[in-house]
Amino acid sequence: MCYLPKGTIMVDGYLGTLTTEERTLLHLLHQQLPSGGWEAPATLTQAGISAAVHIQRKHIPRTLKRMEGNGLLTVAQRHIPGGKQRKRVYTLTESGQERAESLRDRILSEQVQHNGQGVALRTLWTSPQPMLELLSHLDEGMTYHDAALVSPVSNPEGVASIDAQYGEELVRRMFARAWEDGKITKDEQSLLSEVVEFLGMHPERVRRLSNEARKSLKIPPPEEVYYEMILQALDDGEIVQEEIDLLDTFRVHFGIDQFTHNTLLEKARNSPVQSEQYHAYAAAVRTAMQDQIITADEHAILRTLRGTLGISEAEHEQIMDDLRKTEQR
């Protein structure tokens, strides 16, 4: 079994060399809370922040709580346009602002390669371009690329980070389940909307995932999707309240009884811990197998990916075997 090595980078390029706290500081630097109002943009919510800094939604509360405790953030309750309830929103304190500006200035002073020449990164930045968007074009060798290396799920297009791809895979499989009878009911749409809002995903990205699911015609059993939801919720050893609410909604909608819930929960708690790399590789294999054939080019890509993510041949065969069993159902 492959375990997550300490210090593993789950975000491509230069962004992966920054901590979650540093990326959060840079995101909130130009996302100040409007004063005196009762509304706030979605970019200041936990979902908006997690999407912008390229990590799973469930991992951001711990970082935000630590930053609040260190006097870098203030928290308020505001209405989000298009939302039904008020949400917690975050903004930098004066101390947080100073630290974010210091970090920004240090990064902008770095020398990077652009079109074969060494230039200061500052010369490639045009305010008010978000700093994280600028940095998404930098690789680890400090070379600036015209196309972004990684894109937040709050953007309509672009490749999401390995961490964020789990959310995409969950939404894709939920759509596959919903499309089973050829249409998505109002209740199913409501459930999907809750999950999408939780992840902070762009509507265009959601539509693409829906179309992919409808074309694949691979309908996972609801218990399988629910089990994957539990595994993701247990990723850090605990299930937070918002995840409990989502699981409850899914369970009721798809008729999963308490006994099945308890059985799947126990199975998830006792299952071997698989790394994020393992799940990312499994998602890549599923994508390659959508047409029932892995081409020579796909084989080469998967072989390279195994080396990058540290996936053994035995783990590859286990993933393939699991996919074959799923196909036979």
Domain range annotation of the chain: 14-103, 276-327
| Residue-level pLDDT at 4 | 33
Q: Using pLDDT thresholds of 50, 70 and 90, give the confidence band for residue 189.
A: confident
Question: Which residues, in sequence order, are bridge partners of residue 138?
Answer: 144
User: Do 39 and 113 form a contact (C-beta atoms < 8 A)?
Assistant: no
pLDDT band at 291 (very low <50, low <70, confident <90, very high): low
Range 286-293 contact pairs with CB under 8 angstroms and sequence separation of 24 or more: 286/169, 286/323, 289/323, 290/216, 290/218
Q: Which of 147, 127, 128, 129 is nearest to 137 (CA)?
A: 147
What is the tens place of the pLDDT at every residue in 102-138?
Answer: 999 999 999 999 998 999 999 999 878 889 989 999 9
Can you tell me the mean pLDDT for 90-108? 94
Instruction: Give residue 7's pLDDT.
Output: 35
Instruction: Please report the pLDDT score of residue 295 as a whole number.
Output: 78
Judged against a pLDDT cut of 70, whether residue 174 lies above it is answered with yes
SS3 219: coil
Which of the residue ranges 66-75, 262-271, 294-303, 304-313 has the most confident prediction, judged by mean pLDDT? 66-75
Query: Is the predicted pLDDT of residue 322 greater than 90, yes or no?
Result: no
Mean pLDDT (whole number) for 78-98: 86
Position 304 confidence tier, pLDDT thresholds 50, 70, 90: confident
Average pLDDT, the chain: 80
Q: CB–CB of 272/278 below 8 Å? A: no
Establish whether the linkage from the previous residue to 128 is cis, with ω within 30° of 0.
Answer: yes
Q: Is the pLDDT of residue 301 over 90?
A: no
Contact predicate 302/313, CB 8 Å: no
Q: What per-residue confidence (pLDDT) applies to 71?
A: 95
Determine what percent of the chain is predicted with pLDDT higher than 90. 19
pLDDT at 273: 57
Q: Mean pLDDT highest for which of 3-7, 256-260, 305-309?
A: 256-260
**Residue scoring higher pLDDT (123 or 62):** 123
Between 117 and 279, the more confident residue is 117
Per-residue pLDDT band for 8 (boundaries 50, 70, 90) equals: very low
Q: Cα torsion at 188, 252, 58, 276 (round to 10°)?
A: -80
Contact between 16 and 10 under an 8 Å Cβ cutoff? The reply is yes
Domain 14-103: assigned CATH number: 1.10.10.10
